[in-house]
């Protein structure tokens, strides 16, 4: 299973989701791959936001080595599941799909909700981390069941 987490700049939400899911997958002993990307190219090559790094580190997850990259159409071939953090990310990724099969890989990370971008509000990093962690746990259970 190859999973891609996507947000806008690939420095806040998606690196957290990438790190949390990777940590959960390793704890389960699964041979799955997780990566993350952004729909915008604002931070290509940069490490995650320092607030994201600090929040993840508080929970024992090191996302500091990550370097931001932009989502590219080749990601549709490389990944089985593409999870986006909000409706804008969804629209941006789906617009690059060449067919229904590629569009079907793209899903909202939290189907009934959106993960708020914490970039402009320091107070949001902790709740966003908790929201992402809860959803990663649910997703892992679902994807494991789906792949049995």
**Tokens describing residue 39:** 């729909």
Share of the chain above pLDDT 90, in %: 97
Number of domains in the chain: 1
What residues have CB less than 8 Å from 25, skipping those under 6 apart?
A: 32, 34, 140
7 is catalytic: yes
What is each CA distance from 47 to 10, 35, 98, 111, 132, in whole angstroms?
Answer: 9, 14, 30, 28, 19
117 is catalytic: yes
Domain encompassing residue 61: 2-146
Q: Residue 147: which pLDDT band, with cuts at 50, 70 and 90?
A: confident
136 is catalytic: no
What's the CATH number where 142 sits? 3.40.50.2300
pLDDT at res. 148: 81
Closest CA to 43 of 76, 11, 90, 89: 11
Q: Which of 23, 75, 86, 117 is catalytic?
A: 117
Q: Which of 12, 13, 22, 23 is catalytic?
A: 13
How many angstroms separate the CA atoms of 146 and 65, rounded?
31
Higher pLDDT, 11 or 148: 11
Q: Give me the DSSP letters along 17-77.
A: HHHHHHHHHHHHT---EEEEEESS-TTTTPPPPHHHHHHHHHTT---TT----B--TTHHH
Residue pLDDT, tens place only, 21-46: 999 999 999 999 999 999 999 999 99
């Amino acid at each position: 299973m190859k999973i891609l987490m996507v947000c806008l700049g690939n420095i806040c939400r998606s690196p957290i989701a990438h790190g949390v899911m990777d940590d959960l997958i390793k704890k389960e002993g699964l041979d799955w791959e997780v990566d993350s990307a952004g729909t915008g190219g604002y931070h290509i090559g940069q490490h995650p936001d320092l607030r994201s790094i600090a929040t993840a580190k508080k929970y024992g997850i090191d996302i500091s080595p990550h370097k931001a990259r932009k989502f590219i159409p080749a990601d549709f071939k490389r990944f089985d599941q593409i999870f986006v953090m909000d409706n804008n990310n969804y629209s941006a990724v789906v617009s690059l799909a060449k067919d229904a099969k590629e569009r079907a890989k793209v899903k909202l990370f939290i189907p009934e909700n959106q993960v708020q971008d914490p970039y402009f509000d320091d107070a949001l990093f902790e709740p966003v981390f908790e929201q992402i962690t809860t959803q990663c746990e649910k997703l892992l259970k679902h994807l494991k069941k789906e792949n049995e």
